[in-house]
Structure 1
Amino acid sequence: MSEGGDVYDLTSANSNVETFCDLARAADITGRTIDDVAAGLLDDAERLSSEYVDERIERPVVPDEVWAAGVTYHISEQAREAESETPDVYLDVYDGERPEIFFKATESRTVGPNEAVGVRGDSTWDVPEPELAVVLHRGAIVGYTVGNDVSSRSIEGENPLYLPQAKVYDRCCAIGPCVASAESVSDPHGLEMSMRIERDGTVLYEGSTSTSEMVKSCEEIVSYFTRHNSVPEMVVLLTGTALVPEEGFTLKPGDDVSIEIDDIGVLENTVTAV
C-alpha cells in the first residue's frame, strides 16, 4: 500500500492479507472501505524503499478473469470500422444501448508491470490498447488500474467472428502498476490517459486523451457485465480505448509501451512474440 508517498508491506502486519483480494474480502465482511482496512494495518506494517518496490513490482491484483468492453470511444469505433470488411457492426454497437463486452484473459494470460506483452506469430497488424480498468470484487467496483488490451487488428479485421483469436492468447493483457481504490479516484470519467511507444529509443507514437470521452460510463458497463452472469470473486474489466496508432503501425518484439492514467500511475511493458 502507498500512503503519502511511502510504501508499506501490509502482509508483514497480518499474514492473512496477502493479496488485494484479501483486502477486498475483509472490507466486504466488515462493511468498511478498502482504504480503512489498509489504514488499520499501517502501524504494524513494514515500510519499503522505492528501490525495493521498483525491483519487485508485480501485478497489483490477480484476477480470476479479465473482460473488456469495446467501441466505447468514437475513435475506437472509427478504427474498428477502418480495419473491418463489415464496418456497420461497429457503428451499431457505438450507437446502441448495449455495450460490446467480451472475454479477454485468464489469470495465466495476464502479465504485470515490466513484463513482456505478446503479439501473435500469425498476425500481421498488432496494437496496444491503453484502457482504464475497473477492479471488481463480487461484482462491485472496488478500484481502478491501468490495462493494456493487446490486439491483432489483422485477425479481427478479417472477420468479426475471429474476435476471440484476436484478443485471447498468451501474454495478451497487462495490468498495473497498482490498484487505486474506488475512494481515492474522485471521478473515473475525468482522468487524463496517455500512451507512448518506443522502438530502439525512437518514439513511434505518443498521444493522450481523457476518460470523459467514453460514450458509456463504468457503471453502465459493469451493469451489463454482471447481468444474468455469475461473475468470479475478482475480475478486471477493461473499459475501451481512445488511443489508436495510425493505420500501418504494428507492434514488434522489443518495443516498449508506456501507459499512464492520472491518479493511478504508469504501466510499462516490453513486447515479445508468442
Structure 2
Amino acid sequence: MKFYSETELSSGTFLGRVWRPDVKGPAVVTLRENRVFDITSAAAPTVRDICELAEPAAYVAAAKGEYLGTLDEIAAGTRSDLANLHFLAPCDLQAVKACGVTFANSMVERVIEEKAAGDPQKAEAIRARVGATIGDSLRNLRAGSEEAAKVKQALISEGLWSQYLEVGIGPDAEVFSKAQVLSSVGTGADVGLHPVSSWNNPEPEVVLTVSSKGVIVGATLGNDVNLRDVEGRSALLLSKAKDNNASCAIGPMIRLFDQGYSLDDVRLAELDLTVEGTDGFILKGRSSMKEISRDPLDLVRQTLGRHHQYPDGIMLFLGTLFAPTQDRDVAGEGFTHKLGDVVTIESPGLGRLSNTVRLSTECPEWTFGISSLMRNLAQRGLL
C-alpha cells in the first residue's frame, strides 16, 4: 500500500524518521518525489530540533541528505526486526497529547459508554434514549457558547448530563497524555490492545505538530486506539484505556506547513477509515474536521501556554467524529476489533497510515527510550 499519492509527493514538504540498522538508531528523513533522504545533522539531530526552527519547511527543503532508498523499498522493511531499515513514528522528543470528545457523535457515544458501564449489550437501548432526547441539537454547536450552556441545562433536566458532555460542550477541553515520549509506532507496525479489553475500536484523527512556542508547524495522521469497555467502566481508567504498549500509531510522516499546505487545509480535512478483518469483515468510517466543535488553535492554546510548558513541543491528537456502531457479530453489540484487523486511515494531503491489530502483550516491547536516543546520537557525534 502506498503512503502518498503522486500529487502529495510532488507538492508536500515531509518530515519523518526511519530506523537505520547500520547506526543502530533513528534517522531524520524527508521525501523528494518517491525517494527517502536522511537529513540528520549535528545542527538538527532530531525531528524536535527541526520543528523548533523559525521555518521548518524551508530548512527541510534545502537540507542536504543521504539517499536511503525509495519509499516503497523502506516501507517494505519489517518493523519488528531492528536489522531492517523501516519507518518509525515521525515524532521523537515531543510529548504525545490527545483531545477527547471534540465531535458531537463521539460525544454521544462516550455518554453511552458511561451509562452502559462498559457493557455493549446495554448500549443499544441507551443509544436510542439519548438520541431521542438530544437529536441533532449538538450538531454545529460551538463548545463554550451560550447555546451550549442552554443544551447543558436541557440535558441536566433529562437526567442525561455526563462528564463527557461537560468537556464536549463546556468551556474546557479534555486533553490527556496519550503515549510516552518515543513510544508511538509508525505506519506498517502492529498496534496493541490491552488483553483485558473485549470492546474496543480505532480512532482516526489528525495529529498536529506543535513547537514549544505553541506554533503549529505541521500535521499528520494518528490512530488513538481506544478500549471502550475499560474507559466506560470509569473515566478514572482513562490511562489504562489509552496508554499501552503499541497503542498509539502516528504517521506516515509529518506534512510541514508551507505555501501549499496550512492549518486551513487541516480544518477542511476528511479522514477515511477502513478496517479489514481476517474473517472477511470490512468496516468503513469517516471523520470530517469541518464538524469539530473546537477550533484546532483553541485546543493548542488549552494544552500549551503560560499554564503548561512543553520544551520539546507536542504532538496533539484532535479527536474523532468516528463512532463505530455497526454490528460485527452479535446484533446490538456494535463493533469491536479482532486480532489481525488491518486498520487504514487516509486523508488527501496527509497520506495513509496502516497498522495491524495485535494484543499489546504480543507487540514488540518498547525498549528504545530517551536515554537510548541520547546515547545513540552521542556515539554518532551528533550531540
| CA offset digits 1:103-129 (Å, max 9, x no partner) | 111035311111111111111211111
Tell whether the 8 Å contact from 1:10 to 1:17 is kept in structure 2 after alignment: no
Is 2:245 the partner of 1:170?
Answer: yes
**Which of the pair is proportionally richer in strand?**
1
Tell me what 1:212 maps to: 290
Any residues of structure 2 matched to 1:125-274 within 5 Å, and which? 125-138=199-212, 139-183=214-258, 184-186=260-262, 187=264, 188-200=266-278, 202-227=280-305, 228-246=307-325, 248-274=334-360
Q: 1 CA distance for matches of 2:359 and 2:304?
A: 34
Tell whether the 8 Å contact from 1:118 to 1:271 is kept in structure 2 after alignment: yes
Is 2:209 the partner of 1:123?
Answer: no
Is 2:76 the partner of 1:59?
Answer: no
Q: Secondary structure at the match of 2:267?
A: coil
Q: 2 CA distance for matches of 1:185 and 1:96?
A: 31
Q: 2 CA distance for matches of 1:113 and 1:63?
A: 18
Q: Please report the RMSD computed on the Cα atoms of aligned residues, expressed in angstroms.
A: 2.0
Q: 2 CA distance for matches of 1:108 and 1:50?
A: 22
Q: 2 CA distance for matches of 1:212 and 1:2?
A: 29
Tell whether the 8 Å contact from 2:38 to 2:68 is kept in structure 1 after alignment: no
Using a 3 Å threshold, how does the CA distance of structure 1 residues 11 and 109 change in structure 2: closer, same or farther? closer
The CA deviation at 1:217 is 1.1
Pick from 23, 37, 43 the counterpart of residue 9 of structure 1: 37
- Letter paired with 2:48: C
Q: Which moved more, 1:222-231 or 1:202-211?
A: 202-211
Pick from 50, 66, 72 the counterpart of residue 102 of structure 2: 72
Q: Secondary structure at the match of 1:68?
A: strand
Tell whether the 8 Å contact from 1:24 to 1:142 is kept in structure 2 after alignment: yes
| CA offset digits 1:51-84 (Å, max 9, x no partner) | 3332322222224321100111111101101111
| CA offset digits 1:166-207 (Å, max 9, x no partner) | 112211110000100122433211011010001117243112
Q: How many pairs were matched up?
A: 266
Is 2:49 the partner of 1:22?
Answer: yes
- Letter paired with 1:117: V
Tell me what 2:372 maps to: none
Is 2:176 the partner of 1:106?
Answer: no
Tell whether the 8 Å contact from 2:89 to 2:250 is kept in structure 1 after alignment: yes
Q: TM-score, normalization: structure 1? A: 0.89
Q: Secondary structure at the match of 1:51?
A: helix
List alignment gaps of at least 5 residues for structure 1: none
Q: Secondary structure at the match of 1:219?
A: helix
| CA offset digits 1:130-151 (Å, max 9, x no partner) | 1100111213211101011111
- Letter paired with 1:208: R
Q: Which moved more, 1:200-209 or 1:97-106?
A: 200-209
The CA deviation at 1:15 is 5.5
Tell whether the 8 Å contact from 1:64 to 1:106 is kept in structure 2 after alignment: no
Tell whether the 8 Å contact from 1:10 to 1:38 is kept in structure 2 after alignment: no
Larger Rg: 2
The CA deviation at 1:244 is 2.0
The CA deviation at 1:38 is 1.3
Q: 1 CA distance for matches of 2:45 and 2:205?
A: 26
List alignment gaps of at least 5 residues for structure 2: 1-29, 77-85, 116-159, 326-332, 361-383
Using a 3 Å threshold, how does the CA distance of structure 1 residues 212 and 83 change in structure 2: closer, same or farther? same
Tell whether the 8 Å contact from 1:132 to 1:261 is kept in structure 2 after alignment: no
Q: TM-score, normalization: structure 2? A: 0.65
Q: Secondary structure at the match of 1:177?
A: strand
Q: 2 CA distance for matches of 1:70 and 1:169?
A: 17
Q: 1 CA distance for matches of 2:166 and 2:36?
A: 47
The CA deviation at 1:11 is 2.3
